[in-house]
Structure 1
């Protein structure tokens, strides 16, 4: 016996003894009467009605009369679920949240998600993807998009499919104030400062391509959109090329630190020449 999901199923038997009682079993377990399972006894006919059958009603059924038994199988078919709202292409930047949404014809329907031919599910997708159901809406969520997420995404039902493309580009970061070259003397303070358009952007400082590490003399700060590198008590070895690199962006800000060395030369003071005046030949 086969029926579509949500339909009503009627199972019936005829007995030789109209007074006999019967038991109905599903996969070997006795069925108790309820709003879903309705028993009926008219004359020598016994019937079982299954209301609003679901996929869980797909089973083997048995009717017992004392030592006699009869069997049948019920197959519940899920009706074709169509896609009533298609996926839409998404164009975004790195780090943004992405949502792909389809709407299907039946609530509770199964929707399978795939990316570039590989199925996405809770077991294989890990924390990278989330799946949400809201009535007939099914949503695939990517929390923070990366370049690895670029590709073709599919939603499948047993009666339709939909596809969409995801494009992910690097973020554009506006430089509001770049770092400037500095010329400082020994023991003075050097401050490199820049300002970017996104206050949440972090970054790293480099000197001659080696990352700068904070110390008692060197301070690195990030307040709002402003990033600073402060060097106290500048010495000659601090001179070089300094670079700020925002995390997640293909750009760098560079400047030079020039060390101004003041040389003091010692010039000995020469005594003025002595002049001797001979007055012995002068008369009074």
Structure 2
């Protein structure tokens, strides 16, 4: 019909429209607003002029409207025509422009931590189809991408975002677009051992041992254990080190028999570990060059010399079965690399004897004769 009620929810305004207004439409109109709390009403008067365009003030001069002109309670109708023009203009303005009310926002996620990257925007009209793009490539629904639209809200979800998903994303509704960027941080590295400890290490007492392994990343933090006890980095018996390439090692400079046992290296905050067994034994030192018997003249310096197979070998000296110790200005015991020496200064007849040098597993003997001068 010719009558229509228009409601604008954004401005809380209601319009009553009459199409092709006629002279018969003139009169008083009552508007009633109501809800569960009650109701309110107001009355307006409608004048319809003829095609000549005579305004309402001229019409008030006629007898038909004379009695209305003297009614002091009636409103001033002089501005009614202008108000109507404004109202008609406002009706024309209710048509919303094509635009994004809420634009896309830049997003930042981390690979491996965030399960979904989400973009959303709001268009000015409902029911408009949205297209999504990454760069110039249009995106379609798949396991990777999920697109949803509800009314004026449009959403793009990127499942399991990875570094390769970084870039510019665009939503297009009609001819309008909105853009935003996705930044994906690299995931935390997964640490593991690329070269484990050897299954077993063997070393002699007092010798140095180095046990080492390698991880796949220099940022991997490790801890060393002896059995189930964590080794303190401040323990001077152990030297724990690492390099910038992921290699880790523990060093024992002077092995002791009690160092024998199980050792392990474990990556912090993971279940990754590598284990080994250390066996420390006493080395069996032997002589590679024995003592030689000598005949000397009294007051000469007598030097007894032999050589062992290892510079760390400890030896003991004996004279006729009695252990010999250094005596100032008379008897010196000297260690030179692998050589072992007993030096007797100003030899006397009483220095004649059977001399023996022993290791933990070997011995060598010689006889010294001293002639009077």
- Scaled by the length of structure 2, what TM-score is found? 0.42
Aligned mate of 2:343, from 230, 248, 256: 230
For 1:93 and 1:178, the matched residues in 2 are separated by 24
2:197 corresponds to which residue?
87
**Aligned partner of residue 283 in structure 2, secondary structure:** coil
How many positions carry a matched residue from both structures?
Answer: 198
Q: Give the Å deviation of 1:205.
A: 3.3
For 1:102 and 1:188, the matched residues in 2 are separated by 58
Higher helix share: 2
Aligned mate of 2:236, from 106, 126, 130: 126
Radius of gyration: which is bigger?
A: 2
For 1:155 and 1:170, the matched residues in 2 are separated by 26
2:308 corresponds to which residue?
196
**Aligned partner of residue 258 in structure 2, secondary structure:** helix
Q: Give the Å deviation of 1:237.
A: 3.7
For 2:263 and 2:194, the matched residues in 1 are separated by 17
For 1:140 and 1:50, the matched residues in 2 are separated by 41
Residue 150 (structure 1) aligned with residue 260 (structure 2): yes
Q: What does the per-residue CA deviation read over 1:45-100, in whole Å, with 9 as the maximum and x for residues that have no partner?
A: xxxx998599xxxxxxxxxxxxxxxxxxxxxxx88643332210222334443222
Per the alignment, do residues 5 and 214 of structure 1 end up closer, same or farther by CA in structure 2, a change over 3 Å counting?
A: farther
Q: Give the Å deviation of 1:151.
A: 1.4
1:205 corresponds to which residue?
317
Higher RCO (C-alpha 8 Å, min separation 6) = 1
Give 5+ residue unaligned stretches, structure 2: 1-108, 117-181
For 1:126 and 1:178, the matched residues in 2 are separated by 38
Per the alignment, do residues 151 and 51 of structure 1 end up closer, same or farther by CA in structure 2, a change over 3 Å counting?
A: same
Aligned mate of 2:290, from 178, 189, 192: 178
Q: What does the per-residue CA deviation read over 1:154-190, in whole Å, with 9 as the maximum and x for residues that have no partner?
A: 1122222221111233335442321244566755654
1:215 corresponds to which residue?
328
Q: Give the Å deviation of 1:240.
A: 4.1
Contact between 2:259 and 2:280, CA under 8 Å: does it hold in 1? yes
2:356 corresponds to which residue?
243
Per the alignment, do residues 134 and 96 of structure 1 end up closer, same or farther by CA in structure 2, a change over 3 Å counting?
A: farther
4+ runs deviating over 6 angstroms? 3-6, 259-262
For 2:369 and 2:247, the matched residues in 1 are separated by 62
Give 5+ residue unaligned stretches, structure 1: 11-48, 55-77, 263-284
CA RMSD of aligned residues (A): 4.2
* Residues 1-284 of structure 1 mapped to structure 2, 5 A cutoff: 7=113, 81-88=191-198, 89-123=200-234, 125-157=235-267, 158-182=270-294, 187=299, 190-198=302-310, 203-207=315-319, 208-245=321-358, 249-257=360-368
**Aligned partner of residue 122 in structure 1, secondary structure:** coil
